[in-house]
Each structure stands twice: as structure tokens, then as C-alpha cells.
Amino acid sequence: MAMAALREASRRLASISTWSPAGAATRPLLLTHSRGITHKLFIGGLSQFATEDSLAEAFMRYGQVLEATIVTDKMTSRSKGFGFVKFASEEEASKAREEMNGKVLNGRVIYVDIAKAKQDRAADVVPIARGPPKPVGNT
């Protein structure tokens, strides 16, 4: 529920187009969200009963959590046992990493590290052979 409220607040902030004193307080969040200046942590060893809300609540004490996601299997919709938490600043993310690494969450020891960028899977794809090449020329 907290994540839904955060997403709704983020959408409303994105719709603010004029600068006003009321919008001045929300400006840093809007800038970090729109520019992609976030710091993402990888959380491994999650319980299958962990939810995005419980993950966000566990990390909120270390700073402003912009997003918490748990990776699920597409076929079974069950947790794969890992997820990600996005923070607005590097200091908050590093503090959370130091404090939460090796702690127990929902009965399981979790491992926290800096998330790595996704690999470009298009470069790893090997073309599928479709038989012999077609002859070139007027035959």
C-alpha cells in the first residue's frame, strides 16, 4: 500500500509543470526521478513471503525509498528470492547497504549489494541457422 501511494505521489509530481513555492519542496524528488539519478541496491536471499511493501518498510529507516521491487517468476508468479530497492541519494543507499547486509528479514538472512547494470542481451544472441544459404545469381 505504501508503494502504491509513493507511485501516485510520483505521478502527481511529474504532472506539475509550473514552479511554485508549493512545488519547490517536491522539486528534488521530481529531478531525481525524471533524470534517473537514483541508486539501486540488489537484495538477495529474500523469503518467498516477502512483499514489495515489507521490503520498502525495512529500508525506509535509512532514507527515502523511491521504489522497491521483488522479481517474480513469469509462469508461477512466485518470488525468485531477490529484488531491488532504489534510493534518492548515494549516501542513503550506502548506509542501507552497510546496515542491512547480513540481517534477517522475514526469517531469512538477506544480502545487500550495489545493483549492476543489465547486460545487453542482444549482443549475446547467436543467430539461428536456417539451412544452407540460397544461391546467388540467375540460376
On whether residue 9 sits in a domain, the answer given is no
CATH number of the domain residue 62 falls in: 3.30.70.330
pLDDT greater at residue 133 or residue 76:
76
Number of domains, the chain: 1
**Domain encompassing residue 52:** 40-114
pLDDT for residue 118 is more than 80 = no
Give the pLDDT band of residue 31 (cuts 50, 70, 90).
very low
pTM score of the predicted model = 0.61
Three-class DSSP labels, 30-80: HHHHHHCCCEEEEEECCCCCCCHHHHHHHHHHHCCEEEEEEEECCCCCCEE
Give 48-90 pLDDT, tens digit per residue: 999 999 999 999 999 999 999 999 999 998 999 999 999 999 9
On whether residue 48 sits in a domain, the answer given is yes
